[in-house]
Amino acid sequence: MRLPGFAQAYGATLPIVMFSLFLSLMGLVVFSVLISLINNTMRSRIDALRKGDTQVLERNHVLLLGWSNKIFSVLKQLARLQPGVKVVVLAPRDIDMMQEQLRVAGIQHEDIRIILRSGTPSNHGELDRVAVAKASGVIVLATDADDSETIKTIVLLTSRQDWDGEPPVLTSEIALERNYELACIAARKRLHIISSSRIISKVIVQTVRNPGLADVYSEIYAPSGNSIYVQSITGCVDRPMAEIAYGLTNAIPIGIAWHEKRDNAVRHAAGLNLEPEYELAKDEQLVLLALELPINYSRPDQLPTSHIYQEGGSVPHVPGHVLLIGWTDMLHDILQELDAHSLSGTEVIILSEKGAEQAKQQITAHQTDSFKNLALGFREGDAVMQSAYTDIDISSFQSIVVLADQTDDKVDADTRTLRVLLRLSEILKPLETQPHTLAELLDENNRALLVGLSVDDIVVSPEVVSAQLAQISQQEVLAPIYRELLSAGGVEISLRPAGDYVQLNTDCCFNDLIYASQQKMEIALGLCLAQLDGKVLLNPPRNTIWQLEENDKVVVLAQQVYQ
Q: In this predicted model, what pLDDT tens digit does every residue of 385-394 receive, in sequence order?
A: 999 999 899 9
The pLDDT of 22-43, averaged and rounded, is 79
* Residue 487 falls inside a structural domain: no
Confidence of residue 166 (pLDDT cuts 50, 70, 90): confident
pLDDT tens by residue, 101-112:
999 888 988 999
Supply the pLDDT for residue 374: 93
Domain range for residue 347?
Answer: 321-461
The model's pTM:
0.86
pLDDT tens by residue, 256-271:
999 887 766 778 899 9
CATH number, domain of 341, equals 3.40.50.720
| 176 and 73 in a common domain | yes
The pLDDT of 128-148, averaged and rounded, is 90
pLDDT tens by residue, 194-219:
999 989 999 999 999 999 999 999 99
Confidence of residue 413 (pLDDT cuts 50, 70, 90): very high
* Residue 133 falls inside a structural domain: yes
Residues in contact with 494: Cβ distance below 8 Å, sequence separation at least 6, in sequence order:
206, 209, 210, 213, 316, 555, 556, 557, 558
Confidence of residue 165 (pLDDT cuts 50, 70, 90): confident
Is 463 a residue whose pLDDT tops 70?
yes
Confidence of residue 296 (pLDDT cuts 50, 70, 90): confident
Q: Which one, of 561, 447, 366, 462, lies nearest residue 74 by Cα?
A: 462
Confidence of residue 537 (pLDDT cuts 50, 70, 90): very high
Is 5 a residue whose pLDDT tops 60?
no
* Residue 289 falls inside a structural domain: no
* Residue 237 falls inside a structural domain: no
Other CB atoms closer than 10 Å to residue 448's CB: what's the count? Answer: 7
| 376 and 429 in a common domain | yes
Burial of 461 (0-12, 13-18, 19+ CB in 10 A): buried
The pLDDT of 527-533, averaged and rounded, is 89
Of 441, 461, 481, the position where a domain reaches its end is 461
| 73 and 45 in a common domain | no
Confidence of residue 13 (pLDDT cuts 50, 70, 90): confident
* Residue 363 falls inside a structural domain: yes
Confidence of residue 519 (pLDDT cuts 50, 70, 90): very high
| 172 and 40 in a common domain | no
* Residue 75 vs residue 48, higher pLDDT: 75
**Is residue 274 left, alpha or beta, with left meaning phi > 0 and alpha meaning psi from -120 to 50?**
beta
Q: Which one, of 287, 143, 245, lies nearest residue 519 by Cα?
A: 245
Find out whether 49 and 57 touch, Cβ atoms under 8 Å: no
Among 142-146, 190-194, 396-400, 547-551, the range scoring the smallest mean pLDDT is 142-146
| 109 and 9 in a common domain | no
Burial of 51 (0-12, 13-18, 19+ CB in 10 A): middle
Amino acid identity at 177 = E
The pLDDT of 118-137, averaged and rounded, is 92
* Residue 412 falls inside a structural domain: yes
Of 190, 221, 236, the position where a domain reaches its end is 190
Confidence of residue 285 (pLDDT cuts 50, 70, 90): very high
Distance CA 329, CA 175 (A): 9
556: helix, strand or coil: strand
| 126 and 18 in a common domain | no
Strands ordered across the beta sheet of 265-272: 227-231, 285-290, 251-262, 265-272
* Residue 200 falls inside a structural domain: no
What b/e string do you get for 504-533 counting C-beta neighbours within 10 Å, with b at 16 or more?
Answer: beeebbbbbbbbbbbebebbbbbbbbeeee
Supply the pLDDT for residue 72: 92
| 136 and 45 in a common domain | no
Q: How many H-runs (helices) and E-runs (strands) does the chain carry? A: 16, 22
Residue 115 φ then ψ, to 5°: -115, 120
Beta bridge partners of 89: 64, 116
| 39 and 80 in a common domain | no
179: helix, strand or coil: helix
Average pLDDT taken over every residue of the chain: 88
- Bond into 240 cis (ω within 30): no
Distance CA 409, CA 405 (A): 10
Find out whether 518 and 512 touch, Cβ atoms under 8 Å: no
Confidence of residue 561 (pLDDT cuts 50, 70, 90): low
pLDDT tens by residue, 467-493:
999 999 988 899 989 888 877 667 889
Count: domains in the chain:
3
H-helix or E-strand spanning residue 374: strand 374-380
pLDDT tens by residue, 323-372:
999 999 889 999 999 998 888 889 999 999 998 899 889 888 887 788 99
Of 190, 216, 236, the position where a domain reaches its end is 190
| 11 and 80 in a common domain | no
The pLDDT of 266-277, averaged and rounded, is 89
Find out whether 124 and 158 touch, Cβ atoms under 8 Å: no
The pLDDT of 270-298, averaged and rounded, is 91
| 105 and 20 in a common domain | no
Other CB atoms closer than 10 Å to residue 73's CB: what's the count? Answer: 22
Confidence of residue 19 (pLDDT cuts 50, 70, 90): confident
For residue 277, what is the DSSP state? T
| 332 and 392 in a common domain | yes
pLDDT tens by residue, 416-454:
999 999 999 999 999 989 999 999 999 888 999 998 898
C-alpha separations of 558 from 275, 499, 519 in Å: 11, 17, 12
C-alpha separations of 320 from 86, 371, 453, 494 in Å: 49, 15, 24, 19
* Residue 15 falls inside a structural domain: yes
The total number of residues shown for the chain amounts to 563
Q: Are strands 553-559 and 491-497 parallel, antiparallel or unpaired?
A: antiparallel
| 69 and 42 in a common domain | no
